[in-house]
Structure 1
């Protein structure tokens, strides 16, 4: 299903981009939010599969893809991202939506559930929870914001393989090339990462001390159909917090994807089946 490139304005005047895949109003609309260094291309396969019967919107957070870069890097923080997405939903009068969030996108979902849960009809959290493994944070901090560039796509693919081999042990050359095309773009004869390197500035700051209790972040999802996808090799979402999330949210299904780290692409066969189950649960009230 083809999409249209559209924009909306943030509260501080940035022009932000989203892909709008058309679909029937009979199904719950789906909003997808990518991870820290990622963009709308991460959800292309999923959006093409699900659109038509339902409208699918894939946002690009400020500083990513076709969204405007922020003059103040300290606005590259989850509360601001959540405010941006909230402004889009209000502008489109779109809620409640099914919200799929990968990594940082899932943190945005948690914040939206805290500030305005009525915007949400159901949730998919992709390899993220209220408690994040410090090992994964350190790994991401080691490459995010470095402003990497490569002479060609093969070199960009090789760099992805070197950085992410532990998370995707079964990937071959075509998979790494596909990842390179999702995370990078061509500019002035080089292949460059498709985000503002300044997004890493707030990410690299030390956490608050004392840290607030993170668990209320998912309480806004209470009573909603939900799916937690976890990579079995994840260094971001460990088994113990994932299990606690399921205990805290009885309507949340846990899917652990074997031989994948951070984060599943959501195109894996296990994910396709679980997503279809989730959307059927979310749509059920519309069909009654």
Structure 2
């Protein structure tokens, strides 16, 4: 990660099955403002939230404690010997373990993609913990074509030899859907996705993670979680949608607004799945949303 990003404090928590989970923490340890808990996408990790965390942890008027979690098998969390445990229910249970260990009663949940699905599941498991929610390019219904695209990408991820090569790989894969990114954004993306492991630059997740998508068929009707999303109706919710998203359709986003009348929707121009939360448009939308919370 570029040197100008603070990586925060590393905290390790035990999941119910004993697996070690990693959480990054930034900002004041004490205060009366709800903390922010960030949950990443399928193959992503806590570094995706470093820019967002730095903004809120060091806010000149309203600093908050910010936590960013590595789901099991990602980032600095332990790899699960049973790849079948890489599922949203187990990951939701891991979030509950983190909430208990860190004594977090209530938080603003920021969920990118998979992290947003976990947030929706928690409306049934621990609804009182969700003080507000930011759903980053995710809804109760997922487009199968977008998941197939993610599977192909994960199966064929090349291994860069140097960081500049990692940047070029990300540009090759993502530039069409993300024409609005700067060179600094591309560097951030490469350093968030990859990490130097045993001397080599590697994708920062368990390779077995892709096995969770192997049975996916483009013709399958994917399960939806509309009842769980409806559990957010009493919670202030911000929906971010990438203009070029292949995972969250405009139709689904529109239906979400009908189910949740107080939903705030912001489309992020020049970005696909999922918008990068340190970029100006996304960061400004979240800051405005959080600023309106009581």
TM bin (shorter chain): over 0.9
Deviations 1:210-251 (A, max 9, x none): 765531120221111110000111001010100110111112
Q: Is the 2:7–2:47 contact (alpha carbons within 8 Å) kept by the matching residues of 1?
A: no
- Which is further off, 254-263 or 21-30? 21-30
Q: What TM-score, normalized by structure 1, do the two folds share?
A: 0.92
The structure-2 alpha-carbon separation of the partners of 1:186 and 1:122, relative to structure 1 and needing over 3 Å to count, comes to same
Structure 1 ranges of 4+ moved more than 6 A? none
- Once residues 31 and 155 of structure 2 are traced to their aligned partners in structure 1, the CA distance between those partners, rounded to angstroms, is 39
Q: Is the 2:57–2:66 contact (alpha carbons within 8 Å) kept by the matching residues of 1?
A: yes
Shift of 1:45: 0.6
1:207-226 paired onto structure 2 within 5 Å: 213-226=224-237
Shift of 1:54: 0.9
Q: Say yes or no: does 1:232 pair with 2:224.
A: no
- Once residues 49 and 140 of structure 2 are traced to their aligned partners in structure 1, the CA distance between those partners, rounded to angstroms, is 23
Q: Is the 2:245–2:272 contact (alpha carbons within 8 Å) kept by the matching residues of 1?
A: yes
Q: What TM-score, normalized by structure 2, do the two folds share?
A: 0.90
Q: Say yes or no: does 1:114 pair with 2:119.
A: no
Q: Which runs of 5+ in 2 are unaligned?
A: 1-5
Deviations 1:170-216 (A, max 9, x none): 33544323211111011344211111011111133338x87655311
- Once residues 224 and 212 of structure 1 are traced to their aligned partners in structure 2, the CA distance between those partners, rounded to angstroms, is 23
Shift of 1:126: 0.1
Q: Say yes or no: does 1:248 pair with 2:259.
A: yes
- Once residues 266 and 157 of structure 2 are traced to their aligned partners in structure 1, the CA distance between those partners, rounded to angstroms, is 34
Q: Say yes or no: does 1:199 pair with 2:209.
A: yes
Q: Say yes or no: does 1:14 pair with 2:19.
A: yes
C-alpha root-mean-square deviation of aligned residues, in Å? 2.0
- Once residues 289 and 66 of structure 2 are traced to their aligned partners in structure 1, the CA distance between those partners, rounded to angstroms, is 15
Q: Which runs of 5+ in 1 are unaligned?
A: none
The structure-2 alpha-carbon separation of the partners of 1:267 and 1:173, relative to structure 1 and needing over 3 Å to count, comes to closer
The partner residue of 2:41 within 35, 45, 48 is 35
Q: Is the 1:114–1:219 contact (alpha carbons within 8 Å) kept by the matching residues of 2?
A: no
- Once residues 213 and 289 of structure 2 are traced to their aligned partners in structure 1, the CA distance between those partners, rounded to angstroms, is 31
1:16-165 paired onto structure 2 within 5 Å: 16-23=21-28, 24-52=30-58, 53-146=63-156, 148-165=158-175
The structure-2 alpha-carbon separation of the partners of 1:243 and 1:186, relative to structure 1 and needing over 3 Å to count, comes to same
Number of positions where the alignment pairs a residue of Structure 1 with one of Structure 2: 283
SS for the counterpart of 2:104 is coil
Indicate the residue corresponding to 1:274 in structure 2.
Answer: 285
SS for the counterpart of 1:241 is helix
Q: Is the 1:114–1:218 contact (alpha carbons within 8 Å) kept by the matching residues of 2?
A: no
Shift of 1:39: 1.0
Q: Is the 2:141–2:223 contact (alpha carbons within 8 Å) kept by the matching residues of 1?
A: no
